[in-house]
Amino acid sequence: MPDPYLVGNGRWCSTCFPGGAPRSFINASRMRKARPGCNECAGAGRIHFTAEEIVATTVAEARLHRERAA
């Protein structure tokens, strides 16, 4: 099942956008729903992953798939 908060190299802030990604990027830029004082995204609306987080997640998923296949 896909994660509704994942978008490219980041995910939508679950505090500012509890229902997942906004319907379109045009509406998201016009109607700034992100909260300026949000602790999770600092008002950006999206949380970007570092390369280390992406690699660690990929390695963990690969290990899980190998364990299930064995």
User: 1 lies in a domain?
Assistant: no
User: 52 lies in a domain?
Assistant: yes
pTM for the full model? Answer: 0.47
User: Total domain count for the chain?
Assistant: 1
For 51, the domain range is 10-69
User: 33 lies in a domain?
Assistant: yes
DSSP letter assigned to residue 9: S
Helix, strand, coil distribution of the chain in percent, nearest 5: 35, 10, 55
- What pLDDT, on the 0 to 100 scale, is given for residue 26? 53
What would the pLDDT profile of 15-70 be if each residue is shown by its tens digit? 888 887 777 655 555 555 667 778 888 777 777 777 788 788 889 999 999 999 98
Per-residue pLDDT band at 7 (split at 50, 70, 90): very low
